[in-house]
Each structure stands twice: as structure tokens, then as C-alpha cells.
Amino acid sequence: MPAAPSDRSTLPGKGHTVLVIVPHADDAALFCGGTLRLMADRGARVVLLRVTDDRYDSAGLDEQATIAANTTELHAAARLLGISEIIELGWQTDRLGDASEVALRERFIYHVRRLRPYAVLSFDPYGAYHEDNQDHVKVAQAVDETYWTAQFDKHHPEHFREGLAPHGVYERWYFARRLTEVTTPVDISATLTVKVEAALAHSTMMRHYAHQLCLQARTGGHTLPLAEAAAAGALRPLLEPMIVAGARATGARHGLAAAEEFRVVRFGGLERWFGIGSDA
């Protein structure tokens, strides 16, 4: 049975801080951009934490030019999505597989305690279907542990000397390439155009994606004119139909025109125990 679509009025809104924790600049636009714009339109303060510097995500640029371009484009996309603050950790991209999860988790705990968010959005550590990016996996695992360790008064007491305190996140919003469980499809038909424009704002990363498609096609003896044109800069004819079709296919699973899917958890899944939720 499909999950019931989320009523827009139940999304985080005025008086709520929403923290998005992602490894890469384009993750927010591609995985949850329509939903973030809806939350911002409802008055939520949306903050994005980017873990890496995306220094390798380009074709034909050196590392410093790539860092600069991807950061500038992230800010352009963030404005479209209603993101009001960007936190940069600056870790080296595509190397989080070798990073300390505990060290990464400490940074997440710190910002959760500092911002005291109502909701956090990030990758689902159990949504591993077709997930070949270890940056996604490591961030998902570290965020998942952050939820409970941020509440402990003996994890990182140095934070408390700065005036911070333990904090419990109310809503955990998980996304993935393919979720193993969907609890909350969100109707993004009103913000699909914004999602497309935010994705297109990441032109350096999207051109690199198109370049990768071309390399694969050549190995197989094919040509992909749309991808070749996108790699050269004509992104919209390739990406807009792909993003729209993906959102519509997701929506069709739930009787919606266009959607993004999430696994939303409150109280570790004990909502009904406490008499909270529509099915309590």
C-alpha cells in the first residue's frame, strides 16, 4: 500500500529550524529541493551544512577553480531553495570513506546543538540501493548517530563550555537514491520548477555528470548527443526532462503529480506509543 502523502500544513514552518546535512553541493537540490522550498515558503529557517569542498567535481578545471565554481553555484541554488545559511566543513571530497566517522559526527553534533533544529534532512544509512558513493554512506551513518549522541550530556563536554546544551531533533527526514521504506511522500508539483532551476544552477557539477555519461557511452560504442551538448554547456534539454520525469514517476506511486520521498522518524518510531500522529 502506498504511503499517505504529507499534508503541506504539517511540514516544518514558521518558528522551526530545518538543518540539511549533505556531503556535496548538489545533493540538496537533487534529493529534496522541492520539499526544502515548501518548508521555506512556510516560514522555516533552512540551513545547509556541506561537508566537502567538491574539489574534484568538474571536467577541464583545476581543483581551485572547481572549488570556487561549485561554491558560487551552491549559493545560487540555495537562494532558489530558500536556504538562508550555509555551513562549510571543507573536508576533501570523495575521501570520506577513509575519514573518521567519530570526528565527522562531532561536527554534526556541534551544529545540531548550536542550531537546535526541529528537523534534520540527510541520506538514509539503510537506503543503500545503487549507492556507490561512500561520501553519501559515511555522512548518513554519522548523521544517524548524531541524533542520539547530541542528546547525551557526556558526549563532547567541550561544547557545553561554549554555552551549548544537549538537543533532541524532533523529526528525522531520510532520503536516498531508493528508500527501503517510504513513510512520507511530499507533493512538490508547486515547487518542481524551482527544483529544476536549482539543479541547473549547479552547472559545473551537472556538466561533469554529462561528461561521465559520454565516457560510458563511448566505451559501449554509442553516442549521446544530448549528453554531449550538456557537457558543452547546453544542460537544460538533458536535465530538465530527467528531473521532471523522475519527480512525476515518484508522484505516480502515491497518486501525486510530482513528489519527493522520505522516511520520516519521530521518537525512534514510537509515535503511536505516545499518542502522537494520525494513526495513534
**CA triplet 153, 110, 134: central angle to 5 degrees?**
115
- Residue 6 scores a pLDDT above 70: no
Confidence of residue 127 (pLDDT cuts 50, 70, 90): confident
Query: Could you state, in order of their start, the residue ranges of all structural domains in the chain?
Result: 8-269
Q: How much is the mean pLDDT over the chain? A: 94
- Residue 4 scores a pLDDT above 70: no
Q: Render the chain in DSSP notation, one character per residue.
A: -PPPPPPGGGS--TT-EEEEEESSTTHHHHHHHHHHHHHHHTT-EEEEEEEE--TT--SSS-HHHHHHHHHHHHHHHHHHHTEEEEEEEEEPTT-GGGS-HHHHHHHHHHHHHHH--SEEEEE-TT--TT---HHHHHHHHHHHHHHHHTT-SSS-GGGGGGT------SEEEEE-SS-S--SEEEE-TTTHHHHHHHHHH-HHHHHHHHHHHHHHHHHTT---HHHHHHHTT--HHHHHHHHHHHHHHHHHTTT-SSEEEEEEESGGG-TTTTT-STT-
| b/e burial code for range 216-238 (CB count within 10 A of at least 16 → b) | eeeeeeeebebbbebbeeebeeb
pLDDT tens-digit map of 136-164: 999 999 999 999 999 999 999 999 999 99
Q: What's the mean pLDDT in 262-279? A: 78
- Residue 268 scores a pLDDT above 80: no
Q: What's the mean pLDDT in 85-111? A: 97
- Residue 129 scores a pLDDT above 70: no
pLDDT tens-digit map of 200-247: 999 999 999 999 999 999 999 999 999 999 999 999 999 999 999 999
Tell whether domain 8-269 is in CATH 1.10.1580.10: no
Q: C-alpha grid cell for residue 51? A: 561537508
Q: C-alpha grid cell for residue 30? A: 537533487
